[in-house]
Structure 1
Amino acid sequence: MKALQYRTIGSAPELVDIPMPSPGPGEVLLRVTAAGVCHSDSFIMGLPEDQYVYGLPLTLGHEGAGTVEALGAGVTGLDIGDAVLVYGPWGCGRCYPCSKGEENYCENAAARGIKPPGLGAPGAMAEYLLVDDARHLVPLEDLDPVVSVPLTDAGLTPYHAIKKSLPKLVPGSTAVVIGVGGLGHVAVQILRAITSCTVIAVDAAADKLAHARDVGAHHTVPSGPDAAEQIRTLTGGRGADAVFDFVGIAPTTELGSRTIAVGGDVVIVGVGPGTVAVGFFSTPWESSARAPYWGSRSELIEVIELARSGRITVDVERFSLEQGPEAYRRLHDGTLRGRAVIVP
């Protein structure tokens, strides 16, 4: 079968032919219908050799959708041809976080060598994908897999981040979204769908700010030296009740620190190296900073229901497997509108 793989440190991904997998006991083989392209992929492909821990060759793609092609021994509850989305952060299934569906925080995954598809295990940018357990599949039913596959990360990750701050996003509150690309433009929609807060979007690109307004942002602010003052003005001087940073580099984390209100949350979602200093003299009273990771299985179901009701949508650009390297170039250059999706 054809697969898009990262094969050499520092090189672009390559389209190759590899053997088609077959499901063992408890496993499910999917015929892939869509796979999402993510900044996390670019991040790991940009790591130097001494920091790269994901194995080579690596079939990319931690956002996956497909139809059930074959079932391993003992698998029940699925039929051949079922349309599904893949829940990506695989865990052991037995520890306390996993028992709550929070496999993104599994206590045993690292020690047991359990890795997500596309981030250690073979991913979805191939004609077929082997899934380790049926519990990692969520019914897609009649939703379009191409526009739905980003929900497994670009939808789930901001949803999880926002949901933890819901007690602070009450009527009259303000949320700031920094970076309105693949995840950020979905975050704006989620905030509008499940809260009554005012949403301020921040980005360096004028076209992304226009996109943010199109998907529901109340205000947009160009990133730069005046951004903090503009946010303070828009909030009547008090600052934001929650700042969701989808970039995570030093200038954006500093902006979050400077604009958070008393009791507010600074939430770093982006994989950049920025940090937030929290202390008696560095942040407002009762404010906090956290760095969430992905989301739970139950939250993915909730995200799918938001999409099914039409309250959130993901803007996508389609690419074939052969066009996969081009999709990553476009991602790196920042010329994508929304999310790139590979369609085998």
Structure 2
Amino acid sequence: MRRYELVGRHDIRLVTDAPVPVPGPSEVLVRVRACTVCNRSDLAYYHYYGLREHCAQGCYGHEIAGVVESVGAGVTRVSPGQRVFVRTPLTTGYADFALAREISVGALPDSVPFEQGAILQLLPLAVHATRGVRLGDRVAIVGQGPVGLMALRVAALRGASHIAAVDLDDWRLRRSALLGADATHRVDGSAEQLRAVGDGFDVSVDAVGTPTTLNACVGLVRQNGLVVMLGTHHVDTHVTVDLVTWERKGLRVHSSAEPVDTARAEALATAERIAHTRELHLPRILTHTYALDELPKAMERLSASRALYPDAEQAPYDGPPQETLKVAIVP
């Protein structure tokens, strides 16, 4: 089979004779029909391989939709021929086939095209990240890339009374409004402008993952408010926070990661239920589609991003790639 491999910094290679994985107990083999590029993890691995230890450990190409090809012993939730999406596979989705644990595989509705279905990998993440949002909460979401938009939709479904979307890019904020943001705030990324968004929110979500955005989220919430770390700190892996402010505010904090299988299963089950509705507006999040052999071109497009540079470093870009959200790779 064909499979792209990340072998070095800025170095991905297409292998045309890779063996097809064989599913073991509780594993599922999926014939990949689409794999969307993760705007944070995949890009960080591509740009920081060899420079950040964790960038050689994650799965490059993990947002998959396809059809179950075969299953290992003990698999009961899915069967061959079933349409599925995958949350965190065992092998790359930039290939003809990918292997995943059964607990990471969700049912994909017939009404959702595969290119859009691969985006659903973000849905369990957003479900788990917004678990602290309660009916009537005022929520601020900093960062309106794909995961920020997914968090926006799930926060709305949880009953948030007001959602403020914050981003560097006017085009993305127009998408936020279409997806249900009650207010949008264009900022330049500086701490001063982020503070000007306001305060008194019940929940603030850092959907970027930089020291500046995390600390801004602290300023956005009320006393005893909740700060959610949804954006992944792949680039600035060490973040300094003012613990006196955290203590004075009595803040709560949690991340988006599902640390144990019970949490993964709960988030996936909720995601499957939501996926069968029309509440996610997936066509507005998918912006580009490339063939498998065009993956380098897709990586180049998405690499024109301020988020790939450390907070304190002068970057060649002021914001995200122009008019780009999710990019799907189709074998």
TM range (shorter): 0.7 to 0.9
CA contact (8 A) 1:276 1:289 kept: no
What is the identity, as a one-letter code, of the residue corresponding to 2:70? A
Query: What is residue 293 of structure 1 aligned with on the other side?
Result: 257
How much does 1:11 deviate?
1.9
Alignment of 1:288-327 (within 5 A): 288-294=252-258, 296-314=264-282, 315-316=285-286, 317-327=288-298
Aligned equivalents of 1:15, 1:189: Cα separation in 2:
36
- Further displaced range: 327-336 or 247-256: 327-336
Structure 1 CA distance for aligned equivalents of residues 254 and 151 of structure 2: 17
Matched, 1:342 2:329: yes
> Residues of 2 paired with 1:325 and 1:311: CA distance?
32
1:253 deviation in Å?
Answer: 1.8
Give the TM-score taking structure 2 as reference length: 0.81
Quote how far apart the aligned CAs of 1:209 are: 1.3
Helix, strand or coil at the partner of 1:176: strand
The count of aligned residue pairs is: 300
Is the Cα–Cα contact under 8 Å of residues 257 and 283 in structure 1 kept in the other structure? no
> Residue type of the partner of 2:197?
I
Q: 1:297 to 1:340 in 2, by over 3 A?
A: farther
The answer on whether the counterparts of 2:37 and 2:326 sit within 8 Å (CA) in structure 1 is yes
Deviation track 1:291-340 (CA, whole Å, cap 9, x = no partner) reads: 33156222122123223211113221222101211222222212353311
Residues 230 and 170 of structure 1, relative CA distance in 2, 3 Å threshold = farther
Give the % identical residues: 24
- Residues 276 and 223 of structure 1: is their aligned pair in 2 closer, same or farther, counting only changes over 3 Å? farther
Map 1:49-198; keep pairs closer than 5 Å. Answer: 49=50, 51-53=52-54, 60-73=60-73, 75-76=75-76, 78-88=78-88, 117=89, 121-131=90-100, 133-142=101-110, 143-152=112-121, 154-163=122-131, 165-166=132-133, 169-171=134-136, 173-198=137-162
Could you tell me which runs of 5 or more consecutive residues in structure 1 were left unpaired when the two chains were aligned.
89-116, 233-237
Deviations 1:171-230 (A, max 9, x none): 2x3211111011111111222222132111111111111111111111111224553454
User: Structure 2: how far apart are the matches of 1:34 and 1:176?
Assistant: 31
| C-alpha spacing 1:75/1:296, structure 2 compared with 1 (3 Å) | closer
Match of 2:175 in 1: 211
> Structure 2 vs 1, CA of residues 262 and 296 (structure 1 numbering), >3 Å: closer, same or farther?
same
Deviation at residue 279 of structure 1 after TM alignment: 3.4
Match of 1:246 in 2: 207
Displacement of 1:144: 2.5
TM-score normalised over the length of structure 1: 0.78
| TM-superposed deviation, 1:140 | 1.8
Deviations 1:108-145 (A, max 9, x none): xxxxxxxxx3xxx42111001123x4343222241322
Quick check: 2:41–2:60 contact (8 Å CA) kept in 1? no
Q: Which residue of 1 aligns with 2:15?
A: 16
